[in-house]
């Protein structure tokens, strides 16, 4: 059997945006019966929140959406840059930081929003619950577009038997 497709979501703190994206993506995989075909995680470029649970607002959004999963924040490592096939970053600043620190991520790191016509996922950390909910809707739509893309292109682990 093909090895799993490895997907890492990255933001600054790994307590709001990237856990929202990870939760949304995990939920999509469950809905499509693809959980076994993927290895999914998230990380932050910063270490300030490492070891902490996700932001309570993000947790509430994910619970409300049926997408909650246990999460402990962590900082992205060079091993991540080597291991993951797709490193989907929330904004330009963090994408620059990923590529500056880990040249190994070249060709694998990109903005998540590239799959939804471009742009960035704004930081809801200094906003309120509604900002967090809107960030979820944004990352959920982008994750759906990303997964559609993988399934269409028959990426390893998602190709249908006999498919291209």
* Range in contact with ligand 4NP (rule: CB under 6 A) among 14-22, 33-41, 102-110, 146-154: 14-22
Q: State the catalytic residue, choosing from 55, 123, 132, 143.
A: 123
**Nearest to ligand 4NP of 9, 84 (CB atom):** 9
Q: Which of 35, 18, 28, 44 is nearest to 112 (CA)?
A: 18
β-bridge pairing 86-89 and 38-44: unpaired
Active site residue 17: yes
Where do the H-state alpha helices sit in 33-162? 56-64, 78-83, 92-101, 129-152
> Does 123 qualify as catalytic in the annotation?
yes
Over the window 36 to 75, marking each residue x when it contacts ligand 4NP by CB under 6 A and - when it does not, the resulting string is --------x---xx--------------------------
Nearer to ligand 4NP, 12 or 98 (CB): 12
Distance between CA 25 and CA 16 in Å, rounded?
Answer: 14
């Amino acid at each position: 059997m093909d090895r799993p497709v490895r997907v890492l979501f990255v933001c600054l703190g790994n307590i709001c945006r990237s856990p929202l994206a990870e939760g949304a993506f995990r939920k999509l995989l469950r809905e499509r019966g693809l959980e076994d075909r993927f290895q999914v995680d998230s990380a932050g470029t910063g270490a300030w929140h490492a070891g902490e649970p996700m932001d309570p607002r993000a947790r509430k959004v994910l619970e409300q959406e049926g997408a909650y999963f246990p999460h402990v924040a962590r900082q992205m490592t060079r091993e991540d840059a080597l291991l993951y096939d797709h490193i989907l970053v929330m904004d330009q600043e963090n994408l620059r930081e990923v590529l500056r620190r880990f040249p190994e991520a070249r060709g694998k790191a990109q903005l998540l929003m590239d799959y939804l016509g471009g742009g960035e996922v704004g930081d809801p950390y200094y906003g309120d619950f509604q900002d967090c909910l809107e960030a979820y809707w944004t990352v959920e739509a982008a994750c759906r577009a990303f997964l559609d893309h993988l399934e269409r292109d028959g990426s390893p682990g998602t190709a249908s038997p006999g498919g291209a």
